[in-house]
Chains A and B, each alone.
Chain A
Amino acid sequence: MNDVFSIERFLGVIPKLIPYIGISIKIVLYGLVVGSILGIIVAVLRIKRIPVINQILSVYISFMRGTSMLVQLMLIYYGLPVFLKSLFGIDINSWDKMLFVYMTFILNEGAFLGELFRAAIESVPVDQTEAGYSVGLTGPQTFIHIVLPQAVKTAIPGYGVDIIGMFHNTSIAFTLGVVDLVGRAKTLGTASGHELEAYAFVALIYIVISILLRLLFYVLDKKYSFGREGVKS
């Protein structure tokens, strides 16, 4: 086993891999920020139940839930250029691969976070909205000051699980040839003929960051669990 795994080589790959964590984090941030905005739009549109749009959105959500991220990534990477070219004559073949990765993550997160937000908003009792109206707040005011703060609290644990899942999914970006953690580990392995150390370190990075994220959301959930007992009538 000695020539399969050596501590020196393991220590050697660490400085070469560390900088590439940034790429995964960048993907997660794009997915998170833009995906959350898309998610809020999806959630609000779904709650309003606008005819046609509601059906389109439920197909979109079902597709994003029913197929894996790898399929979606390939579909966007190979499909979008063909689609745009044949419909609008726009050539996007020269675009950076990372853009397709961001797009996939944003679209995927839009669906998942949309469902998460919808469930959270719907979990706030109607009395709360009525209470808002009764003190003279307008619709948007009631939503922003009364409903949203309560919905955010409900959504925190789901949000945490979602972010960790998204972070794990960044490991498939290498299939497009993007040089992220896994992609770099692969090239390092091919160059030296020893892949195991690089992969082991990648696994370790994912474990450490996942556990840290879990802890963070555990603390957040504890912190924002006030006022959940409900009012006794």
Chain B
Amino acid sequence: MGFEYDNFLDSLHYAVYYLPITAKLAFAALVIGIIIGLIVAIIRYYRIPVLSQLLSVLITVYQGIPTMVALLLYNLLFSFLIGGVVEGLGLNVEVRDVSNIVVGYIALSLFAITSISETFRGAILSIDKIQFEAGYSIGLTKLQTLYRIIIPQIIPTAIPGLINNMVGIIKGTSLVSAIGIMEVMNASIIPCSRTYSFVEGYVAAALVYWAFTLVLETIAKGIEKKTKGFRKQLG
């Protein structure tokens, strides 16, 4: 036993090769989370009857489930339902050929929606009521006010929270390895199964995740700086 540098390089190679899959999982969840999370936050801000209460209960409950447990649960449901779905749609594929990466996308997106909607809700609440009234007073409709006045101001306020959410989602993608999806975490230990020494693989995986998070964080901080001007404080 010891740290084999060559095996480490092998693992690093595999980890980087599978990084696009992790990135795809993370970005899909982030984009879905931002779009639906914003809609959820707006529904809850305007207190649209029934829908708003329903969403707040659902989000509170869903935030209580760890992503890992959600993944295992969905994976199980997936294995029960996939046969029926394939048959129902009349697809000409073998059931065992259907990848369960869908489960990863669904679980991560739901996680992203719940966490991002809370970030946006906080950001909307931080905007002064005057801003809405100013929009209405110059004849903008509700939607126009949202789109032209409120959302541009939400962005800079929400970005620090969104960065945290994004880091959380990237970390969440590593859990997907537990249901057997080939991504950075699982790929990096492929060479290890030859030598039965797993340190090199996990060091490689850790470095790839770390670098990936740091790069994205730097980009997001750049965006934060650029969007700061959207929200001017009156003296």
**Majority secondary structure, B binding face:** helix
Name the distance in Å between A56's Cβ and chain B's nearest Cβ. Answer: 16
Is the beta-carbon distance between B2 and A82 smaller than 8 angstroms? yes
Knowing A4-B80, A82-B3, A211-B60, say if A70 contacts B66 (CB, 8 Å).
no
Q: Mark A67-91, 1 if CB is under 8 A from B, else 0.
A: 1111110110011011001100000
Set of chain B residues within 8 Å of A209, measured between Cβ atoms: 64
Name the distance in Å between B83's Cβ and chain A's nearest Cβ. Answer: 12
A-B contact sample (15 more), CB < 8 A, given A79-B203, A171-B69, A206-B64: A4-B80, A63-B206, A66-B213, A66-B217, A70-B177, A71-B185, A74-B198, A82-B2, A86-B2, A171-B68, A172-B175, A196-B76, A199-B69, A207-B65, A210-B64
Name which of B150-158, B166-174, B224-232 contacts chain A.
B166-174
Set of chain A residues within 8 Å of B206, measured between Cβ atoms: 63, 67, 71-72, 75
Within 8 A of B (CB), among A85-119: 85-86
Give complex CA distance A195, B60 in Å.
25
Residue of B nearest to A69 (CB): B171
Is the beta-carbon distance between A85 and B68 smaller than 8 angstroms? no
* Chain A interface category by residue count: 35 or more
**Majority secondary structure, A binding face:** helix
Set of chain A residues within 8 Å of B199, measured between Cβ atoms: 75, 78-79, 82
Give complex CA distance A88, B80 in Å.
51
Q: Return the contact of B66 from the options A68, A71, A168 (Cβ within 8 A).
A: A168
Name the distance in Å between B1's Cβ and chain A's nearest Cβ. Answer: 6
Set of chain B residues within 8 Å of A70, measured between Cβ atoms: 171, 174-175, 177-178, 185
Is the beta-carbon distance between B76 and A66 smaller than 8 angstroms? no
- The answer to the question of B51 belonging to the interface, with a C-beta cut-off of 8 Å to chain A, is no
Give complex CA distance A170, B68 in Å.
10
Name the distance in Å between B142's Cβ and chain A's nearest Cβ. Answer: 32
- The answer to the question of B130 belonging to the interface, with a C-beta cut-off of 8 Å to chain A, is no
Pick 13 A–B contacts, CB within 8 A, sort by A. A62-B214, A66-B213, A67-B209, A68-B172, A70-B171, A71-B174, A74-B205, A79-B199, A168-B68, A171-B66, A171-B69, A182-B72, A211-B60
